[in-house]
Chains A and B, each alone.
Chain A
């Protein structure tokens, strides 16, 4: 060691979180004594190091004793690394000369043996001290923030986010895969618990988003590539060919009126209704321009027809139109790509797809929607018979280890809404088969009680089977729902005319690919992971990428809107700052040592490593690198080093953990 460092060690009690298991007094006394030779000049323990008094303790020592390094033994760096770095900075010490080692998550919380846990705390601190000696003073990187924002997904969460940012005066690119914005909400009839019409509250927002001078609406489009980093992303978007010249189209509707080709609409109408080969998904679609479905259009199949072209009054049909690739620059991104409904076919014993009068929740939404295929008449699959008895099965695909273990959060309220609509419109008897009723939000429980008062039957039990096998008199021609009423302990066979499967929510089928495209992570389920589940639910670990709505996990409309607005607010804050400071803890490639094998290119979870074909070397983009160290470990040539995790730092930390930094005799005596 060239120069003698002066190191302070601070051991936190975290109330009883740490002190309940680790003998903190002993640990701090040990550090002051045994790690003296390492440069430790002071070791203290304190009830809450993160409190202002605790921080002042450290600052006072830095100023008065001239500490050159600080080791805090407390919670995980995820929680308070920033706190202690800032504390050091406040006392004039470079923040990166402070090391936070975890004796809570990695010690006191996971052990019960107090003696052993105390020894482990000593080892962890010893490792931290050996490591901090090799820390360097670092300066954060400042990058400018491009004021434009990309919002991916035009459902209610994405629309809300786009409008918030646009209303604040900044530009937004709103990209939507379908021909119209609106998302799932546009398919619904009523919204719970107030029962206001979904379209009535959604379409004004859609129109606002469509007309807003600060919003560039890109529907029927998909993001293909994302380069860059927070503040300056370059996004490649494929605008698929609609076959319609948007500049000329007035949205008059003559083309789809004249189109002779009927197609079952499996997307918007959930297979319940038809559309034409040239179509807008629904009358209030935004934008108003239709799309030619090239898979089903007679012209693309046989080369003749062109009825739409013949009748179009403004010559807006363009069969030769090609996809358009565009690049846009944005500073931040919001992902609001939503969910897919659970595929009820997977639960074969419920008979969906096999028994005609078993409906999914989305089918039922279309069935009772006044703009839907039956004009809002709730009828059986034959299109005319009104049901006399309807069974609604909750938790389809949710809270079930065979499918999804999580609760989909919306199905109880959705089912109650259905029950209400069925009774209101048909007077049918309604049975709700539930596991538990979960109506935990404002005015939701009241809605449940309203349904109880309306005379809807509630049977607590998981449905075993829906079948058309008649066994008892009165079952002829009915669907029989077999269930155990767990409140009475009786097996029931409930004959119904219609069964509605209240399907849960699942991540989009391509959610993992989308996560990779934007360099963020998914949980094992496929939901996108937020930076902190409680305190930072709309940011991700990748700077500049935010998430909103069901892409983060199942949620209802109010929660999706709140997240959309929250993500927008976060981004507006960033835009106002004009530039962002980036952590200087990152990896660098030594070009002379790099063999160009490209192993690091693939392991980087943040897409931060680019490859120079000309020089055959890889380079880490410092603004994109999050300093995770994966590439450092993966590089077979040892050509990548990371500030904050250099070989020297890691190896001395290991030595410290093994007490190799202390003469053997003394270590044992400890």
Chain B
């Protein structure tokens, strides 16, 4: 049985609760045990590293130090949490002076960060540790005919790990194929969703979201699959504003990949957090196993 230390991150508490629910359900079905890190705190999100680097590293290092005690790899479902933790491990290993400062602070909490831990994104667990072959074996209701845009976002493959293809990765597509869906060619799959620019420069961020939605429409996708709460919120919750701003008429469902995987494994939609969407889903999507007509 695969076992990981699990860092859900703040978003999954409320805003992305459907990601949390579907993660729990799908991993259980795949025989993966996720042990939530005890007394975890915020990762610093997209902004803290630019305000106080040392404190931001300490925030992440605290979670990592707690996770280290379990001896397990830590997994984060949110791309920003993943990136912050991954960079913290990398930088603290490389910079003993920084590590000393951070550990001095952690001593207050009787913690110590050694750097002896791997950080993984949840999608890596699905695509690499489990892999498409095993996933395929668990599918009972394949999403045949559902055209899905695999939206990686900009953080999952940054930084590059070994020889990984960071420009045109294919693992998301392979996973979607494994659950019977049709991954569409989505040229902007690696482009930024705007992130927290939505707060500081909304017009610019809305235009980024518009490009992503337009590209999904052009690719004839029925749904966009994401692996990050920030991406999901920007793409889904701001669709109305995009439509107002640019006079467009988008109505593109944005789901977490775990929700699609869950549907394909026959988990009831309700358990996967469905029902909280802003954009109405095609009813066919919620009845997997049936052939969905390809939109023209």
Contacts and interface: CB of A to CB of B under 8 A. Distances in A.
Contact of A349 (B168, B188, B214, B215): B168
A348 B187 CA distance: 12
Interface residues of B, number: 9
Main secondary structure of the interface of B (DSSP, over half): loop
B39 interface: no
A348 B165 contact: yes
A35 B51 CA distance: 67
A464 to B, nearest CB: 9
Main secondary structure of the interface of A (DSSP, over half): loop
B167 A470 contact: no
B211 A471 contact: yes
Contacts of A349: 167-168
A344 B167 CA distance: 14
A644 B187 CA distance: 65
Interface in B152-174: 165, 167-168
Nearest to A468: B187
Contact of B168 (A348, A468, A470): A348
A305 B218 CA distance: 49
Contacts, number: 17
A86 interface: no
B211 A347 contact: no
A651 interface: no
Nearest to A464: B167
Interface in A48-71: none
Contacts of B211: 471
Contacts of A348: 165, 167-168
B168 A469 contact: no
Interface in B166-202: 167-168, 187-188
Interface string A326-360: 00000000000000000000011100001000000
Interface in A423-470: 465, 467-470
A301 B165 CA distance: 38
Contacts of B188: 469
A470 B187 CA distance: 10
A468 B219 CA distance: 11
Of listed B165, B168, B211, residue having the most chain A CB within 10 A: B168
Contacts of B168: 348-349, 354
A467 B187 contact: yes
Interface residues of A, number: 10
Interface in A33-53: none
Of listed A347, A349, A469, A470, residue having the most chain B CB within 10 A: A469
Contacts of A469: 187-188, 215, 218
Nearest to B188: A469
Contacts of B218: 469-470
B179 to A, nearest CB: 23
Contacts of A465: 167
A468 B188 CA distance: 10
B166 to A, nearest CB: 9
Contacts of B167: 347-349, 465
B180 to A, nearest CB: 24
B173 to A, nearest CB: 12
Nearest to A471: B211
A462 to B, nearest CB: 13
A171 to B, nearest CB: 48
Nearest to A346: B165
B167 to A, nearest CB: 4
B182 to A, nearest CB: 17
15 contacts: A347-B167, A348-B165, A348-B167, A348-B168, A349-B167, A349-B168, A465-B167, A467-B187, A468-B187, A469-B187, A469-B215, A469-B218, A470-B218, A471-B211, A471-B214
Interface of A: 347-349, 354, 465, 467-471
Given A468-B187, A471-B211, 7 more contacts: A347-B167, A349-B167, A349-B168, A465-B167, A469-B188, A469-B215, A469-B218
Interface of B: 165, 167-168, 187-188, 211, 214-215, 218
Chain A to chain B: the 4 pairs with minimum beta-carbon distance, closest first: A348-B168, A469-B187, A349-B167, A348-B167
